[in-house]
Amino acid sequence: MKILVTGGAGFIASHVVDRYIALGHQVTVVDNLERGRKENLNPQAKFIELDILSPQLSDVFSEGNFEVVNHHAAQVSVVYSLDDPIQDATTNILGSLNLLGNCIKHKIKKVIYASSGGAGCGEPQYMPLDERHPVNPLAPYGVSKHTVEHYLYLFGQNNGLKYVTLRYMNVYGPRQDPYGEGGVVAIFTNKMFHNEVPTINGDGEQTRDFVYVKDVAEASVMALEKGEGQGVLIGSGIETSVNDIYSSLKDATGYAGEVIKGPGLVGEVRSIYADCSLARDILGWTPQTSLDQGMKETVDFYRNFS
């Protein structure tokens, strides 16, 4: 297949690109490199440095003859979205509309959209979270990511656009940015290797559903052939506290320093984990990597990170 991957120099999407290329697909990456890294780019992918808001995106579609679009490009910072909700919406909503308009114009066979599980639902009314849970985001980021799901439904109904939405829980693993506010595994690991003191926001008993990035990439592989019109949660289905993550990483890195307890973050849910049985039923997807194994591979990556 000829596949366009937006945000393909970023953390999650670069792993998706690697899997697509390993399976023999022809992949074009569009990324503005605002958060993506050239080091993440697969050398066998065609790379175009471009923002998804650009009018030139139409030329990329005209020349690419793509069959599938995998859409990961986004503004991904919850804190930034709270500070500048207009820019968050501009990138995540208007940028996606520019992309989807081109998908319709150029008769793309399928769109795979990377959405948010936890940020989209807000504080869970029940757990494990499932796809029937009400959507009540606590930050503009969750609003903007979920809004695109409504546009996908609209274009599916009115224009016949086929799609599947992957609602990610807390993805971790190699290539995650250790300098942002998200990605506690990457942040802690990098700080420990540089003998810097990690900060746990709040009491550390907040829990998350941590899912390994290579398992997440497999969901995008399965979504090439399966799923139509659904949104499915992609997670481990296991609840793990930030304190437990810290303790595991301290052992794995040999960190002998202290930890700072800081204030809790605005817009952050207290606890969340997912029931991912719908992803199993629709895509045939289940996570394959244990937290211990995923953490080991992540720690190995950050030993030499610069």
Q: What is the pLDDT of residues 21-77, one digit of tens each?
A: 999 999 999 999 999 999 999 999 999 999 999 999 999 999 999 999 999 999 998
59: Cβ contacts below 8 Å, ≥ 6 apart:
none
Residue 274's alpha-carbon distances to 117, 128, 132, 139, 240, in angstroms, are: 8, 5, 11, 19, 12
Active-site pick, 80, 141, 172, 273: 141
Please provide residue 49's backbone torsions phi and psi, each rounded to the nearest 5 degrees: -80, 105
The per-residue pLDDT for range 112-146, each reduced to its tens digit, is 999 999 777 878 999 999 999 999 898 899 999 99
Tell me which amino acid residue 43 is: P
Instruction: Establish whether 179 is a catalytic residue.
Output: no
Helices 291-302 + 184-193 axis angle, to 10: 50
Alpha-carbon gap, residue 231 to 111, rounded angstroms? 12
- pLDDT digit string, tens, across residues 258-285: 899 888 776 677 899 999 999 999 999 9
4, 60 contact by CB (below 8 A): yes
Mean pLDDT of 91-97: 98
Taken in order of first residue, the domains within the chain and their CATH numbers are 2-169+211-235+274-283 (3.40.50.720), 172-207+238-273+291-302 (3.90.25.10)
Cα three-residue angle 242-72-166, rounded to 5 degrees: 70
User: pLDDT of 158-178, one tens digit each?
Assistant: 999 999 999 999 999 999 988
Q: Under a CB-based contact definition with an 8 Å cutoff, are residues 30 and 58 in contact?
A: no
Helix count and strand count (H, E) for the chain: 12, 13
193-226 pLDDT, tens digit per residue, is 999 999 998 899 999 999 999 999 999 999 999 9
pLDDT tens sequence across 218-252: 999 999 999 999 999 999 999 999 999 999 999 99
